[in-house]
Amino acid sequence: MFARVARYEVPPERMDDAIKAFREAVTEIDGLEGLKGGSVLVDAEDGVVMSMTFWDSRTAMEDSEVKAAGLRQQAAKEVDGTVVSVHCLDVVAEIGAVAPTA
């Protein structure tokens, strides 16, 4: 399995808007071929948002990159935020099950 992890900085006062923007972005990638799941995490106090998606193959992850990059930029821009970093990683160990969405 493979993972893409992105970190964003958002003005803390825009966090509610950021959560809405990222939830909308999630609906755009849901169902892409090879997507196994993922999460969006926030630290509202510090203005940090992180997204993590899991893919069944490196090819599926790479094939989704153009769409994912556009959605990242769009969601961050909508709330005066920035994309700080994006990493594509091999998953070498799993811990339990992925937590359910709220």
Sequential pLDDT tens for the chain (102 residues): 999 999 999 999 999 999 999 999 889 888 899 999 999 999 999 999 999 999 999 999 999 999 999 999 999 999 999 999 999 999 998 888 655 554
- pTM score, two decimals? 0.87
Q: How far apart are CA 40 and CA 51, in angstroms?
A: 4
As given in the structure block, the two tokens for residue 8 are 């964003």
Bridge partners (DSSP) listed for residue 3: 54, 89
How does strand 2-9 pair with strand 48-55?
Answer: antiparallel
